[in-house]
Structure 1
Amino acid sequence: MNGSALLLLCFLARISVIYSTDPSCSGKVNTNPIVREDPRLVSTVPNGKRFVVGSDYDQINIVHVYGGTPYDMGFALGKLMSKEITELVPAYFEYLYEQVEEILKIVPAFIAKWIADLGLAGALDLTYEITHPYTPPWFDDEIRGVADGSGVDMVKIRQVNMLPEMIKAACTVLGAWGDSVIGSTLLHVRALDWDDKAPIAKYATITVYHPNASYQGYTDHFHDYYKQHNPQSHAFANFGYPGLIGSLGAYSEASIALGEKVWITKESDITSRFGNPWTYVLRDVVQFANSVDTALTMMANAQRTCSIHLGLGSYERNSSLTADTNFGFRGIEYSARELNVYNWEDMFNTKAHPILRDVVYWDKHVQPSNNPCLGSLLVEHYGHLNAESIIYNITSLSETGDAMNFVLDYAENAVYIAYSAPDDPKGPLEAFNRAHTRIDMGKLFAEPAPH
C-alpha cells in the first residue's frame, strides 16, 4: 500500500460514521480534511501585525494588536483591517435593512417596537445609551481607535457592536472531557448559528490581543471586582469579525474560554437592557480570569443584561481534570437576575438530552430541547471524542455552527475553526460543512510585537 492510499484509509477510518442512526439528524458527515498550515504575515503597523491562514473562501485573517492602551490596540486593528471594515460596515447595514422584517419576528416585542419607532440604527443607538453607564470605558476607547485607524464613523462601529445585545443567536454549547474523550483533554465546542448568508461572513477574523497596559486608571470608579482584585490582564483571542470587539467566543493564554447560545425565557422576568452588554462581559472574563472560580465571581459581580446560555472552560496544565474544582467545564444560565451554574451531573435528563458523564451540552434548540439528534450523536461517539470526530460526525450531522464553528482542544492549546462562505460558488455555505483550520493558539499568544 502506497503512502497516499494509507493516508486516505486513515482519514476514512476517522469518519467511519457517515450518517447517524437517529433520523432526527438530517446532516451529513463533513469529509473535508483539516487544514494544517502556518499563518502568513501580510502587514505590520505600530502595535499590530496581520497574518492570514488558508486560501480562497476559507481564508481567515489573524490580527495581533499590542497595547499601549485600548485606543492603541483599536487603532492598530483599524489600520490593519481598514479596507475590510470600510467595506463591511455599509454592506452589513444594507443587508440588515433588507432583513428587517425577519429581524422583527425574532427579537423581543419591546425591541421590535424600538426598531419600528426609531429604525434599526436608532434602536442600536438606544441600546448603546442605556448600556453605556454600566460599560467599562476601555470599550469606547478601543472603538474610537478602530474608527480613527480605519476611517469609519465611530457611531457605525459602535452600532455593529450593539447588534449581539439586540439580536441573539441559536447556537450550540458543548464541553467534553474525562471518560468521554480520547486522551486527557478538554474539548469545547462553540457553534454559532447566527446568519450564514450575511456579508460579515466574508471577513473571518481572529483578533489576538496582547495587552500590556494597566487598567487600574480605568477602574478606579468602575466595578468593585476590579478595584478589589486588580486582576492580571492575559493575552486572549476573539473569534469573530473585524470591528466587533466584544466576544462571541474567546480563549485566553490562561486557558479560559467562553462561548454563548441564546436562552429563550420570559424577557420581563429575569432580563434587563440596563447593564453591561453580554459580549463585553464575556470579553472581560476571558481577559482577566485565571480559573473557573474567578470567572464565575466576575459574572456574579457584573451588571448583567439579557438571557444567554454559556459554556465556560478552564484548563490547568499538568493537572488532573477531576482533581481541582477550578478545572473543567461549566454550563451557565446567565441573565440580569439569575446566574445558574451546571456541571454534567446537574443537567436535565430527558430522552432527547441524556445525562452523560463528563459532558455538558445544550443544542441549538429551545431548552429543554425535544430534539434528540445531538444527544444521540454524543451517546454514539462517547469515549471516542476528539476535535476531528466532533467536526466530522457531530456538528455536521446535527447541522449546528452555520455561521462559525470551532472546537478548542485545551491539551493541544489549539482551535479548529471554520466560517460560512456566502460567496463560494461551489459551496457548501455553512461553516459546519466546510474545511476547518487548525491554529496553534500557543504560537499566537507568543507572537512578538512588531519592532
Structure 2
Amino acid sequence: MRNFVRRNSLHMRTSLIALFACAAFLVAAVTALDPSCVAPNNTIPVWTAAPVFVSSVPNGKLYQAGTGNDTFNVLHLYGTPYQQGYAQGQLLSSTIKGLTNDLVAFIEQEAEQAASWLPVWLIDAVVANGAPFLLELTFNATKPFAPQRYLEEMQGIADGAGVDVKDVQNYNMFPEMTKAACTIVGATGSATSNGKISHLRGLDFTPTCPIASFPQVTIYHDSTPGPVLANVGWTGMVGVLTGLSNTSIGIGEKVWINHPKDIESTYGEPWMFILRDALASANMTQALSRIQNANRTCAIHVGVGDSTTNTFNGLTIAAKAYDVYNWQSLNWTGHPIIQDVFYWDKHVQPSHNPCLGEYLQEFWGNIDAEKLALNIAAPFGTGDMHCVTFDYSTGIAFIANARKPSVTAGTLPAYYRQFTRLDLNALWNLAQ
C-alpha cells in the first residue's frame, strides 16, 4: 500500500477536495413554502456583549467572545508574519500542543470507520500509512507555491508554542484532504433591507471534529500597510475559509462536487492560502485577479463580495478551471434566478432542492445579516460546523460554532446554537 501511495501521490492530491466548504443559506418563513422546507428558526437570544480581555504578549492580544458553552477566541495579531505567529503560539501554547495529535487521531478513527467524507482510496492510504504521512505529503507538494509569509507565520506559531513546525504545517494541510457540503449566499441591492451586501457562509462538516473545541476569530494587523483581516476559523489555522476585511472584501468557500475530471493538481498553493490572498485585496477586481493568477489546486466554489462596488460574485475554480458568475449569469435548471441574490445551497450543484430559493424569495427585500443567521440557517439546516453572516456596510458579524466536544448540553450543529454579534469595525481599529 505504501508503494501505491507514493506512485499515486499526484492522484492523491488531485482527489483532495476542499475541506470546510462554505455553507450559506437564507432565512426561511413558514408560509407558502414547500412542506419539506418548513423547520424552526433559531430563537436563542443573540449574545451582544463585547469580547472580554484575557491576556496579552508582545504583538498579540487574546479576548473571549460569547458566553456559556458558546465562547470563542478573538485573537489580535500585530507585526510581521513571524511575530504574529509567535504571539499566537505564546498565547495559545497549551491548545496548539494538542491540535495535530487530536486531529490525526480523528482522521485515523474516521478512516477505520470508513467515514463518508473520506474517499475510499484515502481511507486505504490512511489505514496503511497513517494520517501524518498524507498530511506531510500534501505540505511537501504545496510548499514551493506557498507565499513565504504563511511559512513564516507557521514557523512562528511552532516556536511560540514550543512544538515541531511539522505539526503546525500538517495541521494546516487538513483542509486540502477533506470534503464538506456548504452554501454560499450574497444578497445586495433590492434584495436587502439597506441595499448593501449581506453574506451568509455556513460550513457543513463533521461537527464532532476535535478542532470544534477551538473556534477563533483572528484579526490580522500587519506591520506593512494594507487591509486588516478578520479570519473566522480555528486556533492555529493560518489560511482563510470565511472572512471579511476592513476594505470590505468578504470571502467564503464551498466544495465543488462532480467537477470535470483532470482539472485539479497536486502542486500549487493551498486553497485556504489563496482565499487569504484574495481577502487582503483592495477591491473586487484585485481579488478576482489574485485568484485567477494563483497556482490553484483543488476544485472549489468561492463567494466573493466587495462593498465598494456593492457586488457579489461566485467562482468555480481549480488548477485548470476559472469561471466567474453573478446573480444573472448563473442560469441553471432548478436554480431560480433571484434579483440581486447570488446563491449556492449545500447540495451538489446544480441543486434541485427548492428550499434555499424559496427562503430567499420569501425574505427578498428585507434580507439582512441577522435574518440570515437566525431565520434561514436553522430552517435550512446548514452550517453544522460554523455559521457566519456579515453585513458589509456596518462590519457587523453574527457567528455561531458547533457544540464543543467537551460539552453535552444543547444542540450539536452551529445553526441551532447561540449566535454572537461582533462589531468587526471595533476589532479592526484596536490599537496595539
- TM-score norm. by structure 2 comes to 0.89
Q: 2:292 — aligned with what?
A: 300
Counterpart AA for 1:312:
V
SS at the partner of 2:365? coil
User: 1:35 is matched with which residue: 44, 47, 50?
Assistant: 47
> Aligned pair in 2 of structure 1 residues 50, 122: CA closer, same or farther (>3 Å)?
same
2:267 matched to which residue of 1?
A: 274
Q: 1:191-340 counterparts in 2 under 5 A? A: 191-213=202-224, 233-266=226-259, 268-287=261-280, 289-316=281-308, 326-340=309-323
Q: Is the 8 A contact 1:24 1:371 kept in 2?
A: no
Is the 1:172–1:363 contact (alpha carbons within 8 Å) kept by the matching residues of 2? yes
Mapping of 1:35-434 within 5 angstroms?
Answer: 35-67=47-79, 69-101=80-112, 105-108=116-119, 111-112=122-123, 114-213=125-224, 233-266=226-259, 268-287=261-280, 289-316=281-308, 326-351=309-334, 353-421=335-403, 422-434=405-417
User: What is the distance in 1 between the residues matched to 2:322 and 2:115?
Assistant: 28
1:266 deviation in Å?
Answer: 4.2
Q: Is the 8 A contact 2:327 2:340 kept in 1?
A: yes
- Letter in structure 2 aligned against 1:370: H
Contact 1:18 1:393 in 2 (8 A): no
SS of the equivalent of 2:421 reads strand
CA shift for structure 1 position 113: 5.6
Deviation by residue 1:91-134 (Cα, 9 ceiling, x = unmatched)? 23222221124566434566456435532111111111111111
Moved more, 262-271 or 102-111: 102-111
Contact 1:205 1:242 in 2 (8 A): yes
Query: Partner residue of 1:11?
Result: none
Contact kept? 1:124, 1:159, Cα under 8 Å: yes
| Cα contact 1:19–1:29 (8 A) shared by 2 | no
Write the distance in 2 (CA, Å) between the matches of 1:194 and 1:264: 14
Residue deviations 1:359-400, cap 9 Å, x none?
A: 000011100012111111111111121122212221111100
* Contact 2:28–2:358, Cα closer than 8 Å, also in 1: no
User: Distance between the aligned counterparts of 2:222 and 2:287, measured in 1?
Assistant: 19
AA in 2 matched with 1:357? Q
In 2, the alpha carbon distance for the partners of 1:358 and 1:169 equals 27
Distance 2:216 2:31 in 1: 31
234-243 or 99-108, which deviates more: 99-108
Q: Are 1:170 and 1:364, in contact at CA under 8 Å, matched by a contact in 2?
A: yes
Amino acid at match of 1:72: Q
Q: Tell me, in whole angstroms, the C-alpha distance in 2 between the residues paired with 1:195 and 1:280.
A: 22
* Bigger mean CA deviation after superposition, 426-435 or 81-90: 81-90
Q: Secondary structure at the match of 2:232?
A: strand
Local SS of the residue matching 2:33: coil
Equivalent residues of 1:402, 1:430 under 8 A apart: yes
Q: 1:157, 1:409 → 2: CA distance? A: 32
Shift of 1:236: 0.4
Counterpart of 1:390, as a letter, is: L
Rate the CA distance shift 1:115–1:26 in 2: closer, same or farther, 3 A. Answer: farther
* CA pair 172-247 structure 1, distance change in 2 beyond 3 A: same
- Taking the aligned partners of 1:234 and 1:58, their CA distance within structure 2 comes to 29
CA contact (8 A) 1:19 1:28 kept: no
Q: Which moved more, 1:17-26 or 1:71-80?
A: 17-26
Q: C-alpha separation between the residues in 1 aligned to 2:107 and 2:274?
A: 25
The equivalent of 2:23 in structure 1 is: none
What does the per-residue CA deviation read over 1:13-63, in whole Å, with 9 as the maximum and x for residues that have no partner? Answer: xx9945773233264211111111111111010001001112221111100
1-side partners of 2:266 and 2:28: how far apart? 47
Report which stretch shifted further, 296-305 or 419-428.
419-428
The TM-score with structure 1 as length reference comes to 0.86
Letter in 2 for 1:87: G
What SS does the corresponding residue of 1:38 show, helix, strand or coil? coil
Gaps of 5+ in 2: 1-26
Moved over 6 A (4+): none
CA contact (8 A) 1:265 1:307 kept: no
CA offsets per residue over residues 398-440 of structure 1, 9 Å max, x none? 1000100000001111111000014432211110111111101
1:438 alignment counterpart: 421
